[in-house]
Amino acid sequence: MRSRSPLRPAAAGIVIAILAVVVLAADQLAKTAAIDNLPPERVVPVLGEALQFYLVRNPGAAFSLGEGVTWLFTIALAVVAGVIVFLAVRRVRSRLWAVVLGLLLGGVLGNLTDRVLREPGFPVGHVVDFISTPWMMPAIYNVADVFIVSMMISVALLVLFGLRLDGTRETRASRAAEAAGDVEAPSDPGTR
């Protein structure tokens, strides 16, 4: 099987930036449409009880937790965005990691935009949530949240399966070599 060469730093950054902008735009457009077209705090059935819209402005985190420390969420989102940008510039060479981190960055920026620009103002703005799937979870969320949660699961899976940011795959041999103190650990470049 032929392996692909790793992405160049600029290419990884471009992939991450484009995906982040697309997700950010989709999130903000969906929130604007929800604000313009949905009645506040009233259930609007879309697919019966499987999918409903319910417009709320969330001052806290998931399940409205931490309403009194909204500014901490703003700082946390900014730090996560900064880490992703740092990784994009310095470490990411894997196409799969670039896609996952780009989509994650877009979700983070979507909610960070709300925290910074929406009422009651910087840095305690309320996040616009409007998607409800009561059969799945008792939470109301938004497009950014979907990308944040699904991409965090993807990050966990990439780590679990041993795919490194540079596109090499961690193998038992490489783990054993690293544990023994070998600097040059063998790896599988097969999935970049």
Active site residue 182: no
The SS3 call for residue 163 is strand
Partnered with residue 188 across adjacent β-strands are 169
Catalytic-labelled residue, pool 27, 114, 129, 166: 129
The SS3 call for residue 37 is helix
Q: Which two tokens stand for residue 181?
A: 């103190």
Active site residue 27: no
- Residue 4 backbone dihedrals phi, psi, to 5 degrees: -85, 150
Please classify residue 188 by burial: count the beta carbons closer than 10 Å to its beta carbon, then call 0-12 exposed, 13-18 middle and 19+ buried: middle
Distance CA 69, CA 61 (A): 9
Contact 187, 165 (CB under 8 A): no
Q: Which two tokens stand for residue 23?
A: 């997700």
What ranges in 38-69 are assigned the alpha helix state H? Answer: none
Catalytic-labelled residue, pool 36, 145, 166, 188: 145
Looking at the annotation, which residues are catalytic? 129, 145
